[in-house]
Structure 1
Amino acid sequence: MSPRVVEQRSDVAAPIDLVWQRVISPEGINDEMRPWLTMSMPRGAAALTIDTVELGVPLGRAWIRLFGVLPFDYDRLSIAALEPGRSFHERSTMLSMRSWQHERSLTPTSDDKTRVHDRITFEPRLLLRPSAGLLRRLLAAFFSHRHRRLARHFG
């Protein structure tokens, strides 16, 4: 099975440095995901942000919780590439995904806004492969939700 791709772009009414600080923090990440999901930081990594992790080194399991309570999946979190203030590339495996890549880039626009672009490339594990099309639609809706939450944070 070939990997599936989901992309989402939107403009946020805030300068790039403020948006970057928000999207790399555990608080900002969880705010984007709420109320549907939250994600814990791996043990020993609670004080880290995407800006402060060692590239290519797995951080451990970040548990994904349904409605912020029920753990149902985990992400073996690893940041593969980073351009501070501009972009990151997460490359991980999950309980549900053979491979998971999340690339997020920020670009300043001419009107002091920030364009946020997410590209998610995923390959479900064997048992979930028959539902890959449904997973793609769910992820597209979820990242659209994340972008709306991020934009709402900046008013």
Structure 2
Amino acid sequence: MAISLRFESTLKSDRTQVWRWITDVRCLRREMRPWLWMSIPFGVRNLEDLDFQPGKPLFTSWLWLFGLLPLGVSKLTLLQLNPGIGFIEQSPMTGTRLWRHERSLETGANGGTRVIDQLTVEPLFAGWLVEGFLKLFFASRHRALRARDRKQLH
């Protein structure tokens, strides 16, 4: 059974700045802490620096719960990468039939940016546990984005 979740945050920073954050792998790792740590090939700094071909894996990443417990691998695969607008990731991942993450940016009130994450996941088992974890994980990711936004503006 598919799990469908949506998360939104409105930031005061403009779309250009937010786009830099969400494609910079260092920012991505900070956004994922403390829940997950993902390996990224040496030298990769930004998703836009990679040879993007829709539907072809960019790289294989190991995923670690709390940076300690191995969860499996993800073959990071983007279907779309639209600078300043968003991306659609649909990656083969351990423990799932389907992992689809759509992240979009919209211009919000007063020139700010709304970040929208839409997830569709079909776990192989323990759907209730996966759903609960994803709710915690993405709520934490959005808190990290809002904190970065506040820090940027001060």
What range is the shorter-chain TM-score in? 0.7 to 0.9
Matched, 1:105 2:100: no
Matched, 1:13 2:8: no
**Unpaired segments ≥5 residues, structure 2:** none
Is this contact kept in 1: 2:26–2:45, CA < 8 A?
A: no
Name the SS of the counterpart of 2:18 in structure 1.
Answer: helix
Aligned to 1:52: 49
**Unpaired segments ≥5 residues, structure 1:** none
For 1:73, give the aligned amino acid: G
For 2:76, give the aligned amino acid: L
- 2:47 & 2:88 partners in 1: Cα distance? 10
- 1:89 & 1:50 partners in 2: Cα distance? 12
- 2:70 & 2:128 partners in 1: Cα distance? 23
Q: What TM-score does the superposition give when structure 2 sets the normalisation length? A: 0.88
Identity %: 34
User: 1:52-101 CA distances to partner (integer Å, 9 max, x unpaired)?
Assistant: 33132112321112222433221111011121111100011111112101
Is this contact kept in 2: 1:76–1:93, CA < 8 A?
A: yes
- 2:131 & 2:140 partners in 1: Cα distance? 14
CA shift for structure 1 position 48: 5.1
How is 1:1-155 mapped onto 2 (pairs within 5 angstroms)? 2-41=1-40, 43=41, 46-47=43-44, 49-53=46-50, 54=52, 55-125=54-124, 128=125, 131-155=126-150
* Bigger Cα displacement from structure 2, 95-104 vs 54-63: 54-63
User: 1:130-151 CA distances to partner (integer Å, 9 max, x unpaired)?
Assistant: x212311220221011000111
Is this contact kept in 2: 1:7–1:140, CA < 8 A?
A: no
- 2:26 & 2:70 partners in 1: Cα distance? 18
- After superposition, the CA RMSD in angstroms is 1.6
Name the SS of the counterpart of 1:99 in structure 2.
Answer: strand
Runs of 4 or more above 3 Å deviation: none
Q: Across the two proteins, how many residue pairs are aligned to each other? A: 148
Q: What TM-score does the superposition give when structure 1 sets the normalisation length? A: 0.87
CA shift for structure 1 position 113: 1.5
* Bigger Cα displacement from structure 2, 75-84 vs 51-60: 51-60
For 1:17, give the aligned amino acid: T
Is this contact kept in 1: 2:78–2:89, CA < 8 A?
A: yes
